Amino acid sequence: MSDRDQDGPLSEETVRRIDASPLPQRDRHHLRLLAHCLASFQAMEPLPTNGDLPKEQARRQWCLSKQLIAEDPHFIALMLEQLDVAALQLESIAKTINTPPINLTVDDLIALAQREWNN
């Protein structure tokens, strides 16, 4: 298992980039949550070939493959609910910048958040 798997889907460098943005703390926190969900979606298999985010079955299998949460059905239910909410937000962002949702990057998320904050 890699350090990334043990510590979560976001690298320290990614968290630092988000935290270095001029966004208010609340917005940076939201951005970290979205980036975490995006990285989780990108780690799920099989990835849809059409650029969409993985659907419920792949999400559930991914959760069940994580040793820390696999035996906690209540947490898995909450995680799946949060992934559903994040998917809607990521799909909206992807549509705004005309890219498939699975191809979004943390840079895309930061740039859009900063644009919205500046308006």
Supply angle C-alpha 107, 89, 16, rounded to 5: 30
pLDDT of residue 3: 38
Q: Could you read off the pLDDT of 15-47 as tens digits, one per residue?
A: 999 999 999 999 999 999 999 999 999 999 988
Instruction: Write down the pTM of the prediction.
Output: 0.88
Residue whose tokens read 């939201």:
30
pLDDT of residue 2: 38
Among 18, 45, 46, 20, which residue's Cα sits nearest to residue 34?
Answer: 18
pLDDT of residue 9: 83
Residues 90, 103: Cα–Cα separation, whole Å: 10
Q: Could you read off the pLDDT of 95-110 as tens digits, one per residue?
A: 999 999 999 999 999 9
End-to-end CA, the chain: 43
